[in-house]
């Protein structure tokens, strides 16, 4: 197993104990065995074989998240970025729809949630990203039919990934110290640029993104990306493309929309005929974007979707209303 030392070190840095590290190594060794059977290897991997292993884990009701994460970490260490990114796309949708159903129950009651979910089957953990759009579309349409668009949007606009407030607590202190939203937004963007440049220098992935000098230049010229720009009583945010390097290079409008979309529950539904998942689903992304401002301003903010790739736009863009109590 090539890169075993580096892989063990990465697992340890990510907080795995000795037993978890050994399980992760066994998962990679099992993949190596399967690859060899296909006439390939870990050095020359075949994606189809990787995905068959994941499907087998799903069918066997194994700890599939553990399997996927082990393989994704290995391919990140091995600099097989395309495979690592593909495997991370398997992880991103896990728990999203169940969390939405829980929020629906909390806001509107179990009876309403039962009516919305009647006849809707959710993909199992570890399903391919392409298996999600059908369930996502059915959920959004049933939600809007049952509750109407305004209440549906309230359900969808949430911190669905469960990001802890502590992740942005330091930014709240920084804003209060600076005393100006405009100055803080510029400062925040500059610090995000420093992070991107470090990923260019060391060649590691930034979340699921490969960062190149072209990406750094692209984001540097757009403060709305990874930060925001205030205009009046709102902060405007443009989502960085999910695959920014390929997005920049592509000239095809349809491909650029697919490369822009961060949502594995919807991206594969984007076709020349339109998106199969309703654009109202993008309220979920607005919820993700606004959460940091909820923490930074110390109160719930209001977010609006201004543009989305599911609606046919090239990029996703949002507005977050600044609370009256916030420093200006």
SS (H, E, C) the chain: CCCHHHHHHHHHHCCCCHHHHHHHHHHHHHHHHHHHHCCCCCCCCCHHHHHHHHHHHHHCCCCHHHHHHHHHHHHHHCCCHHHHHHHHHHHCCCCHHHHHHHHHHHHHCHHHHHHHHCCCCCCCCCCCHHHCHHHHHHHHHHHHHHHCHHHHHHHHCCCCCCCCCHHHHHHHHHHHHHCCHHHHHHHHHHHHHHHHHHHHHHCCCECCECCCHHHHHHHHCCCCCCCCEEECCEEEEECCCCCHHHHHHCCCHHHHHHHHCCCCCCHHHEECCEECCCHHHHHHHHHHHHHHHHHHHCCCCEEEEEECHHHCCCCCEEEEECCCCCCC
pLDDT at 275: 72
User: Tens digits of per-residue pLDDT, 65-85?
Assistant: 999 999 999 999 999 999 999
pLDDT at 327: 77
Residues of the chain with CATH 1.10.150: 4-91
pTM of this prediction?
0.91
User: Tens digits of per-residue pLDDT, 289-305?
Assistant: 999 999 999 999 999 99
* Average pLDDT score, the chain: 95
pLDDT at 250: 97
Spatial CA neighbour of 315 closest among 290, 285, 288: 285
The CA distance from 253 to 155, in Å, is: 31
Domain at 4-91: CATH architecture? Orthogonal Bundle (1.10)
Asked whether 213 and 225 are in contact (CB, 8 A), the reply is: no
Q: How confident is the model at residue 326 (pLDDT cuts 50, 70, 90)?
A: confident
Q: How confident is the model at residue 62 (pLDDT cuts 50, 70, 90)?
A: confident
pLDDT at 252: 96
pLDDT at 223: 98
Q: How confident is the model at residue 156 (pLDDT cuts 50, 70, 90)?
A: very high
**Tokens at residue 180, please?**
């100006």
């Amino acid at each position: 197993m090539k890169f075993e030392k580096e892989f063990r070190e990465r697992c340890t840095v990510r907080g795995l104990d000795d037993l978890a590290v050994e399980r992760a190594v066994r998962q990679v060794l099992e993949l190596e065995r399967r690859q060899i059977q296909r006439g390939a290897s870990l050095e020359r991997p075949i994606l189809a074989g990787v995905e068959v292993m994941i499907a087998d884990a799903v069918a066997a009701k194994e700890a599939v998240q553990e399997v996927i994460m082990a393989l994704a970490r290995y391919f990140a260490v091995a600099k097989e970025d395309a495979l690592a990114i593909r495997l991370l796309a398997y992880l991103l949708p896990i728990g999203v729809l169940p969390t939405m159903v829980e929020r629906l129950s909390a806001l509107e009651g179990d009876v309403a949630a039962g009516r919305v979910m009647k006849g809707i089957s959710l993909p199992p953990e570890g399903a391919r990203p392409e298996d999600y759009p059908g369930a996502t579309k059915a959920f959004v349409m049933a939600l809007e039919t049952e509750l109407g668009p305004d209440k549906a949007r309230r359900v969808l606009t949430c911190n669905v990934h469960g990001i802890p407030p502590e992740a942005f607590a330091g930014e709240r202190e920084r804003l209060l110290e600076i005393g100006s939203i405009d100055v803080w937004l510029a400062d925040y963007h500059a610090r995000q640029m420093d992070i991107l440049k470090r990923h260019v220098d060391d060649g590691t992935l930034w979340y699921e993104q490969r960062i190149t000098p072209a990406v750094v230049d692209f984001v540097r010229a757009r403060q709305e990306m990874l930060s925001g720009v205030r205009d009046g009583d709102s902060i405007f945010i443009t989502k960085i493309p999910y695959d920014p390097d390929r997005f920049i290079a592509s000239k095809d409008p349809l491909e650029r929309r697919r490369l822009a979309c961060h949502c594995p529950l919807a991206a594969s539904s984007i076709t020349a005929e339109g998106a199969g998942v309703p654009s109202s689903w993008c309220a979920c992304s607005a919820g993700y974007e606004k959460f940091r401002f909820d923490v930074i301003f110390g109160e719930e903010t209001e977010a609006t979707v201004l543009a989305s790739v599911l609606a046919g736009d090239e990029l996703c863009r949002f507005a977050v209303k600044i609370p009256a109590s916030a420093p200006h």
